[in-house]
Amino acid sequence: MTSEAAQLLERVGPAWRRRDVAALLALLEQQWPSERLARLLRCDDAAVVCLAAGCLGMVGSLRDEAALAELLHCKDADTRDAAEDALWRLWMQAGSSCGNAMLAEALKHVERDEFDAALALLDHLTIDEPTFAEAHHQRGIVLHLLDRLEPAAEAYKIAIDLNPHHFRAMASLGHVFAQRGKLAGALRAYRAALRVHPGLSELREVVPQLAAAIDRRSVA
């Protein structure tokens, strides 16, 4: 372990374990810029990598997305979980400050099953900030919940075009294809999600079954 890695564990680890967000942000702002944290993603100590990934989720940007996505291929489950959580944090905060707040408000409506109110906010957000991938993804989820499958699929596709690492949008697109009976499309979407995140166990189980079903259709 390098001295830099040891310093991260010693100086940042206690605040991380306490979930002391104010202390963490102060430490990271003063001593641990995202470039320094990103270097530690290549450390051979899983505890260091997990902590660095978690901190990047707090202070990083989409420039760090590719490096975090690489960790989704790690054998260590804790590392994969840390990378996934960090990616979600980056995705949810990738808009403007106003856009991020609007997305958070839309999600509160979703939690209360107020899907029409959520959709209205997300419609405005995706118009105002058309490159905010997570806004399109969440809009797809709401449309999906409203059983509006075709526009949901289009929203997921936009999210994927904007963010090629968005394995959840790929998986959700696969679910829409499956619901519409488009098994080949579902299989392509699921395989795309697994190429980004091989640890999606629910898809690893479904893909062979889906491929077999398509084979049976072609023989019949």
CATH number at residue 113: 1.25.40.10
pLDDT value of position 213: 86
Do residue 79 and residue 19 come from a single domain?
A: yes
Do residue 78 and residue 118 come from a single domain?
A: no
The sign of the dihedral angle between the CA atoms of 126, 117, 84, 188 is negative
Confidence of residue 216 (pLDDT cuts 50, 70, 90): confident
Do residue 28 and residue 81 come from a single domain?
A: yes
End-to-end CA distance of the chain: 59
Do residue 150 and residue 177 come from a single domain?
A: no
CATH number at residue 216: 1.25.40
Q: Is the pTM of this model over 0.85?
A: yes
Is the pLDDT assigned to residue 88 strictly greater than 70? yes
Do residue 21 and residue 88 come from a single domain?
A: yes
Report d(CA 196, CA 161) in Å as an integer: 14
Do residue 70 and residue 107 come from a single domain?
A: no
Confidence of residue 215 (pLDDT cuts 50, 70, 90): confident
Structure tokens at 142: 């709401």
Do residue 108 and residue 83 come from a single domain?
A: no
pLDDT value of position 184: 94
Is the pLDDT assigned to residue 23 strictly greater than 90? yes
Report d(CA 146, CA 100) in Å as an integer: 23
The sign of the dihedral angle between the CA atoms of 207, 209, 210, 216 is positive
Q: Which residue spans within 40-104 are E strands per DSSP?
A: none
- Among the candidates 92, 115, 132, a domain finishes at 92
Is the pLDDT assigned to residue 70 strictly greater than 90? yes
Report d(CA 25, CA 15) in Å as an integer: 10
Phi, psi angle pair for 163, to nearest 5°: -140, 90
Do residue 18 and residue 79 come from a single domain?
A: yes
With beta carbons less than 8 A apart as the criterion, state whether 39 and 27 touch. Answer: no
- Among the candidates 66, 92, 118, a domain finishes at 92
Do residue 87 and residue 102 come from a single domain?
A: no
The three-point CA angle 103-160-57 to 5° equals 55
Is the pLDDT assigned to residue 219 strictly greater than 80? no
Please report, rounded to a whole number, the percentage of residues in the chain having pLDDT higher than 70: 98
Is the pLDDT assigned to residue 220 strictly greater than 60? no
Do residue 133 and residue 121 come from a single domain?
A: yes
- Among the candidates 92, 119, 137, a domain finishes at 92
Closest CA to 27 of 40, 38, 14, 39: 14
With beta carbons less than 8 A apart as the criterion, state whether 83 and 53 touch. Answer: yes
Q: Residue 138 is part of which domain span?
A: 95-163
Q: How high is the mean pLDDT of the chain? A: 95
The three-class DSSP label of residue 164 is coil
Buried b (16+ CB within 10 A) or exposed e, 24-36: beebbeeebebee
Do residue 7 and residue 88 come from a single domain?
A: yes
> How many distinct structural domains can be found in the chain?
3
Do residue 10 and residue 87 come from a single domain?
A: yes
Q: Span 135-157, mean pLDDT?
A: 98
- Residue 70's CB is within 10 A of a number of other CB atoms, namely 13
pLDDT in tens, 150-204: 999 999 999 999 999 999 999 999 999 999 999 999 999 999 999 999 999 999 9
